[in-house]
Chains A and B, each alone.
Chain A
Amino acid sequence: MTAGGRRGALPALVLLACLAWAPPAPGHDGAPLAPLDFDPPRPGTYTLHRIMAAPDGEVVGLDGRADRLSHFTRGRITLLGFIYTTCTDPEGCPLAYRVFDTVKQAVAGPALREKVQLVTLSFDPLRDTPDVMRRYAGSRVSDNGHGPRWYFLTTRSARELTPLVEGFGQDLRSTIDRSNGAARRELSHVLKVFLIDPAGFVREIYTSTFLHPRTVLNDVETLLMELTDMGGLVTGPPSPPALVAPRGTRGTPRNTPTGP
């Protein structure tokens, strides 16, 4: 990746314009997103290194059918975050939801919606069944297939989940809250959101301190500029071929949002 250029199919202004007209992200708790405390570097003026290959494993979509996670993380730029639907930490899952929601709106136009996708993956298979995940997704999954893809996934067991959280390096702890008399299991984690390139490499890991639509969209544009430099999104960067899903053969995952 060369620095300094403002070339590429999708300049930052387009993304920022999308943000400008997008309605405020409501999020699950309705709180507005706090402004970013710094001006991030311009897209294309920095390098997003390949941090690691995104792990793969079995997941379950909203229709309850199993699929490989890689089916939802390859071929497009993917923003992936782990959540559990009972999470109330304002700097945890609700923040991720609001950022994802804003990013979804910003990439909803025809130029971007086929190049960016969102994945929300639960790490609470006991409680977060496909039905629960559908309720959590709410209207976000009901876009009649015209908007960017936002997949809501879960797993069937800790056995399926373990290689995913371990592979991504997602911290997760469980405690028993007895403050109200009855024992209640509480999960806790430190929020991480992963930006994955079309070839399946993690290129950025956001924490709550800098997870913001501005940083995410700048990074998305930086990746798009890189892909343009290297021949476009269809062929992808020269990465291990086995990791690249040719667009023509990728197909549509079974739980592609299709509307209510």
Chain B
Amino acid sequence: MTFHRPWRGGIAVALGLVFASGMLVGAASADETCNSPYIAKLIKGQEDYVYVWALGVEGVGDGSDKLVTVDVNPKSKTYGKVLGSVSVGGRGEAHHMGFTDDRRFIWAGGLAESKISVFDIASDPAKPKLVKTITDMGDKTGYLGPHTYYALPGRMLVQALSNTKDKGGVTGMALYNNKGEFIASYAMPTEGGGDGYGYDLAVNPKRNVLLTSSFTGYANYMRPLGELIKDAEAMKHFGNTMVAWDLKAMKPKKVFSVPGAPLEIRWSLKTGDNWAITAAALTSKLWLIKPDSRGEWQAKEVATIGDPTKIPLPVDISISRDGKGLWVNTFMDGTTRYFDLSNPEAPKQTYEKVTGKQVNMISQSWDGKRVYITSSLLANWDKGGADNEQFLRGFSWDGKELKPTFEVDFAKENLGRAHHMKLGSRALRNGP
């Protein structure tokens, strides 16, 4: 474990101000809809920044994975511009990231290794700082490729994709405290129908339920996509399951058959709702996970995304705050789709637009009026030549049309491949 600087900082300064004379904190002003429910500072207006976790590309800029900060406040003079970036000093297939529950730090990692980079975003939200590198996940757990970083109270639950032994898809979760100290690991179930694979995780704390999904291992996701899909044997090694866990006990309760690599999991955020939705990448289906009339958790296919025979490859999804709408990005056809989720048992597509030659991640503001899209899926799965666009694109959404508002060309800016996004706000700054 590498310490770049002490962990103390912002709160002390903030408290000094709090108790000096009272401090005017700007109105909470930004958020997205797909964070952990434990994150303390849920903010609901105009965001100031989009943090983009970008894959380094050899010969492009410094070639390193980096966290890029983009100004996305339309009232700013630097709207739509890159404010800065923090390189981590190497390439490790940068992929996803997540806030700690106090929203002071972003944890980000790469799929080619077991390293996790921790950025301080509270001292100055406009200028994230790399403050720690966690390097013990492989040794402590045998897992490889940390993917999802999900805040629990005082802790971070990390879902891995692979393992260090055979680099296949059998993997598990690692639990750290917010200081980056390892606490425990949990293997994905390989019995009772479980395939042992992992991808995303998401929690419904009111019901004590943790859901996990499944993808594939290092041996597959690091191969060129064109080569992989021709390898029938390799294509058998994708996850086909989701698992409902007893969150408190961290024990699997039920394995669901969800064929075709179910990926991102989104719980409805509407108070009283008790269901989650996911998209299966290879079969191009939406699945609903919900208790039946007897209270038994069930997973069922509820919609088709595009034409599955053309393998549109649904990747990221983003649910609206009222649980009534879902954005779905399909990578291969570069299309962004909107599904009406008023009846989650029967989602209906109501809109679609080609938003890039390849699109992957999608995030929306809390009010749903702003939508952000990035381009990169995996270094070896992205398209080639002119189709290999690398960008962050902003859009406005009025319920009828996605209208472009700005674009950052990550290739021209020598920033690499744009992958995961998190929203930020200057109102969340600790101290002056």
Q: Are B15 and A161 in contact (CB under 8 A)?
A: yes
Contact B177 A52 (CB under 8 A): yes
Q: Which of A16-64 contact B (CB under 8 A)?
A: 37-38, 40-41, 45-47, 49-52
Which A residue sits closest to B20, measured CB to CB? Answer: A158
Contacts of A40 in B (CB 8 A): 208, 248
Residue of A nearest to B427 (CB): A173
A184-240 contacts to B (CB < 8 Å): 185, 187, 189-190, 192, 202, 205-207, 209-210, 215
Contact A169 to B154, CB < 8 A, known contacts A41-B249, A45-B249, A210-B208: yes
- Is B117 interfacial (CB 8 A cutoff)? no
Residue of A nearest to B176 (CB): A51
9-residue interface stretch from B47-55, B179-187, B304-312: B179-187
Residue-wise interface mask of A (157-196) relative to B, using a CB-CB cutoff of 8 A (1 in contact, 0 not)? 1110111011001011111100000010101011010000
| CB-nearest residue of chain B to A39 | B208
Interface residues of B in 9-23 (CB under 8 A from A): 11-12, 14-20, 22-23
B175-210 to A contact mask, C-beta < 8 Å, 1/0? 101110101100000000000000000000111110
Contact with A along B251-265 (1 / 0, CB 8 A): 100000000000000
| A126 lies within 8 A of chain B by Cβ | yes
**Mask of B137-160 contacts with A, CB within 8 angstroms, 1/0:** 000000000000000011100000
- Residues of B within 8 Å of A50, CB to CB, are 183
Question: Which chain B residues border A163 with CB–CB below 8 Å?
Answer: 12
Q: Does B250 contact A (CB under 8 A)?
A: yes
Taking a contact as CB atoms under 8 Å apart, the answer to whether A49 and B15 are in contact is no
Interface flag for A125 (CB, 8 Å) = yes
Verify A169–B183 contact, CB threshold 8 A.
no
A162 to nearest B CB, angstroms? 5
Distance, CA A207 to CA B102, complexed state (A)? 12
Q: CB distance A166 to B153 under 8 Å?
A: no
B90 at the interface (CB under 8 A from A): no
Q: List 16 A-B contacts (CB under 8 A).
A: A38-B207, A40-B208, A41-B246, A125-B19, A157-B19, A158-B15, A158-B18, A162-B12, A162-B16, A169-B101, A171-B103, A190-B40, A207-B153, A207-B205, A209-B37, A210-B205
Could you list which residues of chain B lie within 8 angstroms of chain A, going by C-beta atoms?
Answer: 8, 11-12, 14-20, 22-25, 37-38, 40-41, 101-103, 153-155, 175, 177-179, 181, 183-184, 205-209, 246, 248-251
Taking a contact as CB atoms closer than 8 A, the residue among A49, A171, A176, A190 that contacts B24 in the complex is: A176
Residue of B nearest to A45 (CB): B249
Q: Are B205 and A51 in contact (CB under 8 A)?
A: no
Shortest Cβ distance from B131 into chain A, in angstroms?
15
Please report the C-alpha to C-alpha distance between residue A178 and residue B24 in the assembled complex, in whole angstroms. Answer: 10
Across-interface contacts of B248 in A (CB, < 8 A): 40-41, 46, 210, 215
Q: Which residue of B lies closest to A41 (CB)?
A: B249
Known: A162-B11, A169-B102. A37 touches B207 (CB 8 A): yes
Count class of interface residues, chain A: 35 or more
Cβ–Cβ contact B179 & A52, under 8 A: yes
A residues less than 8 Å from B178 (CB atoms)? 169
Hey, which bits of chain A sit against chain B, CB under 8 A? 37-38, 40-41, 45-47, 49-52, 125-126, 157-159, 161-163, 165-166, 169, 171-176, 183, 185, 187, 189-190, 192, 202, 205-207, 209-210, 215
In the complex where A171-B41, A207-B38 touch, is A49 in contact with B183 (Cβ < 8 A)?
yes
Shortest Cβ distance from residue A165 to the other chain B in the assembled complex, whole angstroms: 7
Complex-state Cα separation, A38 to B101, whole angstroms: 23
Residues in A with CB closer than 8 Å to B38 are: 207
A166 and chain B: residue at smallest CB distance: B11
Q: Known: A46-B249, A175-B24, A209-B37. Is A52-B19 also a contact (CB below 8 A)?
A: no
Known contacts A41-B246, A165-B11, A210-B208; is A175 also within 8 Å of B16 by CB? no
**Known: A158-B16, A190-B40. Contact between A51 and B177, CB under 8 A?**
yes
Is the CB–CB distance between B8 and A174 below 8 Å?
Answer: no
Partner of B15, one of A52, A162, A169, A185: A162
> Which residues on A sit within 8 Å (CB–CB) of B16?
158-159, 162
Q: Please, how many angstroms separate the alpha-carbon atoms of A166 and B179 in the complex?
A: 11
Which residues of B have CB within 8 Å of A215? 248
A37-B206, A172-B18 known; A51 vs B12 contact (CB < 8 Å): no
Output the least CB separation between B361 and chain A (Å).
Answer: 27
- Complex Cα spacing A172 to B251, Å: 32
User: What is the CA–CA distance of A174 and B12 in the complex, to the nearest angstrom?
Assistant: 13
The CA of A198 and the CA of B248, in the complex, are separated in Å by 21
User: Which of A38, A157, A192 is most buried by chain B, counting CB atoms within 10 A of its CB?
Assistant: A38
Give 12 A-B pairs besides A172-B18, A175-B24 with Cβ atoms closer than 8 angstroms: A40-B248, A41-B246, A46-B251, A47-B184, A52-B179, A158-B19, A162-B15, A165-B15, A172-B14, A173-B41, A192-B153, A209-B205
**Contact A185 B249, CB 8 Å, known A51-B154, A166-B12, A192-B153:** no
Q: Which single residue of chain A is at the shortest CB-CB distance from B274?
A: A37
Residues of A within 8 A of B251 (CB): 41, 46
Report yes or no: B250 in contact with A46, Cβ–Cβ below 8 A: yes
Closest to B152 in A: A205
